[in-house]
């Protein structure tokens, strides 16, 4: 479990390319929303669903957009304003093949490597793994409490101590902001972008301290990168049902 993070499942899109509500589409005996939330429950102790209007088919806490027609940016901002953890992992409901291994890998990239040698750790502190770099980490500990140091981008309990504001995977040269980690410190710039009527998540990333994770860095966790196969059209759904992923 990634204790210091809340999963935000995005289910408030207009599904214009699909022609029907994507969250309710059935695949392998369950809806896309059910599939994604089931996976998130394996990884995070808290899972919420971002919606434009309350949904009767959701048994998890729901957060409605504060800004009408604000897209995923509005959903992320509203949800970050409600969570009690210092981090959130946002994932779209049309990504039913996301695997825990990829999410856990991305989580470890939240912590910047130290820029200078760290002082020796005490015996008590040595109990946790080195989380400064996923390339050298086999295990990691997380925090369940939100504190000022973490929100400000500094974590005294981590080697290196400094946190990114977001961790975003890049697949085929394209950032994937709908399957990414965001710190609570992103809330102010997100709200400012909404106030300026800037609704694109990718443009907002330019204002944040982001760790982009290339596909080569994720292949060990997901060799075929199925996690990032999103179902935008009826053709995508048919391909998924036929095993073409």
- pLDDT at position 135 is 43
- What pLDDT digit, counting tens, does each position of 32-70 carry? 999 999 999 999 999 999 999 999 989 999 999 988 888
Closest CA to 5 of 50, 63, 49, 44: 44
Residues 189, 194, 196, 201: what is their CA dihedral angle, to the nearest 10 degrees?
70
- All residue ranges of the chain with pLDDT < 70 are 14-17, 19, 115-161, 244-245
Both tokens of 9, joined, read 């499942």
Q: Is 134 helix (H, G, I), strand (E, B) or coil?
A: helix
- Here the CATH number for the domain that contains residue 107 is 3.90.550.10
Total domains, the chain: 1
- pLDDT at position 54 is 94
Residue keyed to tokens 């990333």: 205
Residue keyed to tokens 């996301």: 98
- pLDDT at position 131 is 35
Q: Is 168 helix (H, G, I), strand (E, B) or coil?
A: strand
- What pLDDT digit, counting tens, does each position of 5-29 carry? 999 999 977 666 686 789 999 999 9
Taking the alpha carbons at both ends of the chain, their separation in whole angstroms is 27
* Distance of alpha carbon 161 from alpha carbon 26, whole angstroms: 44
Closest CA to 76 of 87, 65, 62, 86: 65
Helix, strand and coil content of the chain, in percent to the nearest 5, comes to 30, 20, 50
pTM of the shown model:
0.81
- pLDDT at position 207 is 92
* Distance of alpha carbon 80 from alpha carbon 93, whole angstroms: 17
- pLDDT at position 142 is 34
Closest CA to 41 of 53, 54, 56, 30: 30
DSSP 162: B
- pLDDT at position 68 is 84
**β-pairing verdict for 46-51 and 62-64:** parallel
Q: Which residues span the domain enclosing 31?
A: 5-241
DSSP 68: T
């Amino acid at each position: 479990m990634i204790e210091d993070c809340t999963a935000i499942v995005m289910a408030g899109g207009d599904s214009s390319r699909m022609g029907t509500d994507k969250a309710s589409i059935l695949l392998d005996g369950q809806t896309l929303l059910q599939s994604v939330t089931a996976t998130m429950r394996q990884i995070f102790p808290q899972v919420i669903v971002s919606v434009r209007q309350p949904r009767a088919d959701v048994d998890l806490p729901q957060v409605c957009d504060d800004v009408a027609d604000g897209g995923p940016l509005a959903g992320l901002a509203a949800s970050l304003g409600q969570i009690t953890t210092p981090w959130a992992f946002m994932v779209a409901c049309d990504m039913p093949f996301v695997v825990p291994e990829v999410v856990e890998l991305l989580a470890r990239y939240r912590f910047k490597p130290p820029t200078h040698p760290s002082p020796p750790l005490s015996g008590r502190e040595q109990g946790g793994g080195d989380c400064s770099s996923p390339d050298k980490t086999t295990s990691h500990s997380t925090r369940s409490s939100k504190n000022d140091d973490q929100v400000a981008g500094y974590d005294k309990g981590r080697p290196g101590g400094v946190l990114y504001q977001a961790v975003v995977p890049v697949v085929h040269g394209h950032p994937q902001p709908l399957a990414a980690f965001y710190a609570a410190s992103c809330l102010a710039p997100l709200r400012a972008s909404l106030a300026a009527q800037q609704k694109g998540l990718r443009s907002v990333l330019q204002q944040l301290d982001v760790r982009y994770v290339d596909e080569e860095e994720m292949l060990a966790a997901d060799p075929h990168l199925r996690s990032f196969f999103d179902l935008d059209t009826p053709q995508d759904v048919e391909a998924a049902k036929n095993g073409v992923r």
